[in-house]
Structure 1
Amino acid sequence: SFASRHAGRKPFESIELYGHPQTLWPDHCVQGTIGAQLHPKLLWDRVAAIVRKGMDPECDSYSGFRNNWNINGERPATGLTGYLRERGIREVYVCGLARDVCVRWTAEDAVDAGFHVYFLWDVTCSVNPADDQSLQQALIHRGVILTTTEELKG
């Protein structure tokens, strides 16, 4: 949830939203702004699908697989699990921003959905880098494979 949607609140404060802790974020990736655009060097001939998340202004969306909790106490699916299963895909490679929030939640939801998950550590960046060691341990504990782009090339 954006801090700007909560009067008197500042980015990175924590509130309770629908019975769960919620960090209030600075506005980012807002539809129709440059922050929501895909990278101009994206190889469009290799893009099979784009999963839209964060479309509900009342519900945050960290994971590519499921939104955060909504007012009904549910974490609605984005459709990515079904899309991948229909195509026989068993492995998921995650990278991007932010390592300790959206990428983490995507990796954990992918594991929960039964995928083998590879977390490309060198092409992610954390909001809180001081927590990276505990994040690595938590991901390994969940069954996520930590790797790098160099290791994949090897």
Structure 2
Amino acid sequence: KMSRVEQILWPTHCVQHSHGAELHKELSILKANKRREVIHLLKGYDSDIDSYSAFWDNQKIRETSLNSTLKESNVTHVFIVGIATDVCVYSTALHAVENGYKTYIVEDACRGVDVGNINLRLDELINRNCVVIQSNEIKTRLEDI
């Protein structure tokens, strides 16, 4: 049984199977990459605890299938996009690094909540060996893997 934890109440967003959870139409370049499979992960199933990270819930009680799926596929590099840069993207990137992945944040494919906090979080990620890139660099980075 989980203990009570204080959580932030966010506006409804990215609800599974809704318009807000759809991938941007210009992400089709990933589908064209024949060497790699695109993994779609659903998170946030527990209404009692938030899940900022794509790897864990916020209390690190329940792990998603992402790490095991990536390991089974021999993935070594991850490219993270989405919302919010300073919350979910940040948390996912931290856990990706903890799990040993070379981690890229695609800055122009992310949006944050607090402009001041975005730069602080990106600096923290850079200090943990994450690489911040722009979307026009993805293809070149993939070719180097």
Q: Which runs of 5+ in 1 are unaligned?
A: 1-16
Higher strand share: 1
Matched, 1:86 2:88: no
Deviations, residues 53-99 of structure 1 (Å, cap 9, x unaligned): 01111111111111112xxxx43111111101111110000011111
Deviation at 1:151, TM superposition (A): 3.3
> Counterpart in 2 of 1:53?
43
Q: 1:146 to 1:19 in 2, by over 3 A?
A: farther
> Counterpart in 2 of 1:140?
126
Q: Distance in 1 between matches of 2:137 and 2:25?
A: 26
Among 57, 60, 65, the residue aligned to 1:67: 57
Higher helix share: 2
SS at match of 2:108: strand
Of the structure 1 ranges 17-26 and 87-96, higher mean CA displacement relative to structure 2 is found in 17-26
Aligned AA (2:9): L
Deviations, residues 8-30 of structure 1 (Å, cap 9, x unaligned): xxxxxxxxx94655221012223
Deviation at 1:153, TM superposition (A): 4.7
> Counterpart in 1 of 2:87?
101
Q: Distance in 1 between matches of 2:121 and 2:12?
A: 24
> Counterpart in 1 of 2:20?
35
Q: Distance in 1 between matches of 2:136 and 2:125?
A: 20
Q: Distance in 1 between matches of 2:107 and 2:61?
A: 26
The equivalences for 1:14-33 within 5 A come to 18=3, 20-33=5-18
Q: Distance in 2 between matches of 1:18 and 1:48?
A: 36
Q: Distance in 1 between matches of 2:126 and 2:113?
A: 19
> Counterpart in 1 of 2:102?
116
> Counterpart in 2 of 1:5?
none
SS at match of 2:7: strand
SS at match of 2:113: coil
Deviation at 1:150, TM superposition (A): 2.7
Matched, 1:150 2:140: no
Q: Rg bigger for which structure? A: 1
Q: Which runs of 5+ in 2 are unaligned?
A: 32-36, 141-145
TM-score (norm 2): 0.78
TM-score (norm 1): 0.74
SS at match of 1:35: helix
User: Percent identity among equivalent residues?
Assistant: 35
Q: Distance in 2 between matches of 1:140 and 1:151?
A: 17
